[in-house]
Amino acid sequence: MTPDLPPVAPSVTAELVEALSPRLRKRLDAGVTKLVARPAVREGDTVRIAVDDETDVVLHAPGGTVTGADAIRCGCLLAPDCLHRAAAASAAPVADEAPPPSPAPAEAAEAGEGTEPVPGTGPAAQPDRTGPAETETATAEQRAAARTVRDAAAAVLEAGADGAGAVLQAGLLHAAHTARLAGLPRASAAAVSVVTGVRAARSADPGYRLADLAGALADVLGVAHRLPHATGPDLTELRGTARQPYRPDGSLRLYGLFSEPVLTATGYAGAVTWTADADGRLYTVSDVAPGGPARATGAADRAVRIGDTALTHRELSRAGLAVSGATVSPTGRLGAGAGVRAVRASGAAWHAEPLDRLWAVPAAEQVARALNGGQDLLFLEVTLTGTVRETTGDCLLADCAGLPLRLATAHDDPSLPHRDNLRLLAAARGSRLRIVARLVPEPLPRALLLAVEHPTDPAARVDLGLDRLRHADLPAGAVAPPAEAAPTADEVPLHLLRRRVHQAVSGGRRVLASAGSVSGDAVRLRRLGLATAGDLLDDLHAAAADRSRDAFGRLLPADTDHFARAWLAAAVYTDAVERALCAGGWRAATTGTPSSEPSSATLARG
């Protein structure tokens, strides 16, 4: 997706795609790919895309958002039912739709409603009281909308992110719009999050995380599955509350934290620089485009794409930035629109305010924040204690407030200095350093090492994916210790189930249907006390391979609902066990006492 296009309401994309003929729908993905490669020119509230020398697609976005199908116009001969309008809507970011109209003032007063947002706003949210007066259930319209969302999300899971093209995305956006009108803002927002995640996966967005997309799919399928049978407080929670997206105040004072390279398997590369404001909120500036390892390492020395500043990513990671007219995405990415102004400002050391406060937050609290859907970066003070040998390579061992912590490389590509830097840091055994790492939600405390305080100069920092440490940077006499064998007795092999859950999200049913026998994995899970995990793994593969044939031997349409239910059960179970074990393990870092979390066997049987 091109950042030059304005956000488009889900209902608009769904309407334009639905109007296409079956022949044009088959060509939609190719049309989107072609369109995003064309230049987009913004003139006030209008964005113009040159499809060719004679044809333009024009998007009119008053207030910054395209809210109607007639606001996207095309000059080709097939317009208005042409491919170009649907492609433009499918390539643009998904807008947050406003909540449906509230009841009239007199009706609201009679119902005792105030001005605060209420769950399930709109006429369709009125309760369907089929039992006692105090029992509230979902309305018939809400049950139908939940089913629509569930079917559309199951179709996306069936295809996987790799196969969920613009037509399936539009189907889920249509379902999101239906849910919003039915007074189900949570289901609507979750469905839009899935579409955004699928688009990020297909466009190699540097902010894309497979685990995030899996979580969004589990959320939307879980809400749609539970809502028709929910009552009382559970129903209120599942309906959700309409909310407006976060809006910045127009000016930001930012301090550079670190930069990390981006190198994807789909041919995109670049860099992302992380910054923080005086309150500790994190913001990113990215530069990612088609390319390979050379671009990933070279992007650090390119100027950041925000305002007129000439700062490079490497410079910004240690300097500061004053931004006016700032635009910020929900994930904290800074926009680079024509109205944004930015100038260089002074930075701050990690031990100085305001950055110092990031490391003042207890580790367990940071982990809890990440596990509850917040930022997954961890700001820790650790003492390096050695290295441990794993199947994927050596990783650092560190002590974090009494907790043994494993620090792995964020990227194993040999063109990036991650691995070499980790080997050198192993020689700084006994050094107490501040680090920035990305949480890996596993039973054993683990994180991906991104940046570290310089081993001999506390005022300096090292971006481990871009900077190269030298022996001269290490303490005098530093020698790397031999790697220890990784302990296995206390590890819970949930990855055997988790990787299948993630494979389905990425590649769809066909990946699991062709994965072959996994009886060995299921046996291993049961042997180590995870009997439920073994059963779920068997059920997931059975559902993926379940294809019936008619009397002539032809494959019948797949049961997407059966596969979605099996996948959802595996995803919910894996998430619950991993969160409990991960949170319990990190909690010991601040309490200094063994975790009181239940054992893996107890979780498996509970």
Strand partners, 125: none
Q: For the chain, what is the mean pLDDT?
A: 83
Q: How far is CA 157 from CA 152, 184, 511, 552, 560, in A?
A: 9, 21, 11, 28, 8
* pTM of the predicted model over 0.75: no
pLDDT at 477 over 80: no
1-18: string of b/e by CB count within 10 Å (b at 16+)?
bbebbbbbbbbbbbbbbe
The model's pLDDT over 340-374, given as tens digits with 9 standing for 90+, comes to: 889 999 999 999 999 999 999 999 899 989 988 78
Share of the chain above pLDDT 70, in %: 84
Average pLDDT over residues 175-191: 93
pLDDT of residue 329: 78
Nearest to 584 by CA among 594, 576, 571: 594
The model's pLDDT over 279-317, given as tens digits with 9 standing for 90+, comes to: 999 999 988 876 778 888 888 899 988 877 889 999 999
pLDDT at 113 over 50: no
The model's pLDDT over 423-471, given as tens digits with 9 standing for 90+, comes to: 899 888 899 999 999 998 877 789 999 999 999 998 899 999 999 999 8
Residue type at 90? Answer: S
Enter the DSSP assignment of 53: S
Which residues fall within 8 angstroms of residue 110, CB to CB, at 6 or more apart? none
pLDDT of residue 133: 53
8 A C-beta contact, residue 414 and residue 400? no
Which residues fall within 8 angstroms of residue 587, CB to CB, at 6 or more apart? 364, 595, 597
pLDDT of residue 492: 61
pLDDT of residue 485: 53
Of residues 321 and 594, more confidently modeled: 321
8 A C-beta contact, residue 399 and residue 592? no
The model's pLDDT over 31-52, given as tens digits with 9 standing for 90+, comes to: 998 888 888 888 888 999 988 8
Which residues fall within 8 angstroms of residue 423, CB to CB, at 6 or more apart? 394, 480
CA dihedral of 7, 10, 13, 17, whole degrees rounded to 10: 160
Which residues fall within 8 angstroms of residue 74, CB to CB, at 6 or more apart? 51, 55, 56, 57, 58, 80, 82, 84, 85, 88
d(CA 600, CA 567): 21
Average pLDDT over residues 205-222: 87
CA dihedral of 379, 381, 383, 387, whole degrees rounded to 10: 0
Average pLDDT over residues 494-508: 91
How far does the chain reach from its first CA to its final CA, in angstroms? 43
Name the strand (E) or helix (H) holding 198: helix 185-202
Q: How confident is the model at residue 326 (pLDDT cuts 50, 70, 90)?
A: confident
The model's pLDDT over 254-278, given as tens digits with 9 standing for 90+, comes to: 999 999 998 865 456 889 999 999 9
pLDDT of residue 500: 92
pLDDT of residue 606: 38
User: Cβ atoms within 10 A of the Cβ of 118, count?
Assistant: 19
Extended beta strands in 335-419, E state? 341-345, 377-390, 393-400, 403-409
